[in-house]
Each structure stands twice: as structure tokens, then as C-alpha cells.
């Protein structure tokens, strides 16, 4: 297995080039993450809106998490194509935006959980 050049193309990290299904497995992992954020966010928002005392503000972070999941799901095919092209052409791969979006969704779930606990006590 060889790696493509990284520094000649403006940074990033080297993408392994070779046979295998690593791109497909990565695509499926992103789809699972996006689906979990989306569906889990919607479900948790519904529970938080019904059970929290107040005006339902506890549901807002969960809605944000589900939106992050929806955007990640919409971007997954584009990301897959970029990974495949980078592997074939030896270009660096920069997926920071997707990672930040996934972390934002996870942090929204954590914040929503905290707000939910504080408003239901």
C-alpha cells in the first residue's frame, strides 16, 4: 500500500491508496453517525419538550443535534467522492468541516441533556 503526497498539495494528511473497502466502510460509519444524531435528536427533543418544566427550551439543543445529523447525512456522498478522488490522485484529504459538524452535534446532545436534567428537577 502506498500513500499519496501530502505537503506538495497544500497540507492535509496522506491518503492511503490501495485495494480494499476502506472508503465504503468510512462512508457507512459517517451514515451511522449522522442517522444516530438525526433520529436521536428528534426523539430526545420530543421527550424533552413533553417532560421538561417551562417553555420547551430543553428541546432546542436536541433539535440542533438532529440538524447536524441531517447535514452530515446529506454530505456523506460528497465526502465519499472526495475520499475516492483523493485516493486515486494522491491529493490530501481535508475533512475538518465534517468533524467539526459531528462534534457540534455531540456537544448539542450533551448540552441538551444538561438543560433537560436542570429543568426537570
Q: Using 50, 70 and 90 to split pLDDT, how confident is the model at 1?
A: very low
What are the CB-based long-range contacts (under 8 Å, 24+) for 74-82? Answer: 75/101, 76/27, 76/30, 76/31, 76/34, 77/27, 79/27, 79/30, 80/23, 80/24, 80/26, 80/27
Q: pLDDT of 5-16, one tens digit each?
A: 444 445 555 555
Q: What is the pLDDT of residue 27?
A: 86
User: So where are the chain's domains?
Assistant: 19-120
Q: Using 50, 70 and 90 to split pLDDT, how confident is the model at 111?
A: very high
Q: pLDDT of 14-65, one tens digit each?
A: 555 555 567 788 888 889 999 999 999 999 999 988 887 777 788 999 999 9
Q: pLDDT of 56-90, one tens digit each?
A: 788 999 999 999 999 999 998 888 888 888 878 88
Q: What is the pLDDT of residue 7?
A: 46
Amino acid at each position: 500500500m502506498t500513500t499519496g503526497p501530502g505537503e506538495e498539495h497544500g497540507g492535509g494528511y496522506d491518503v492511503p491508496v490501495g485495494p480494499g473497502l476502506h472508503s465504503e466502510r468510512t462512508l457507512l460509519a459517517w451514515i451511522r453517525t449522522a442517522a444516530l444524531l438525526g433520529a436521536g435528536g428528534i426523539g430526545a427533543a420530543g421527550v424533552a419538550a413533553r417532560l421538561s418544566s417551562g417553555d420547551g427550551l430543553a428541546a432546542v439543543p436536541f433539535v440542533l443535534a438532529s440538524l447536524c445529523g441531517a447535514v452530515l447525512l446529506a454530505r456523506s456522498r460528497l465526502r465519499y467522492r472526495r475520499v475516492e478522488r483523493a485516493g486515486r490522485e494522491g491529493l490530501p484529504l481535508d475533512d475538518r468541516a465534517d468533524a467539526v459538524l459531528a462534534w457540534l452535534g455531540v456537544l448539542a446532545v450533551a448540552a441538551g441533556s444538561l438543560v433537560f436534567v436542570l429543568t426537570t428537577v
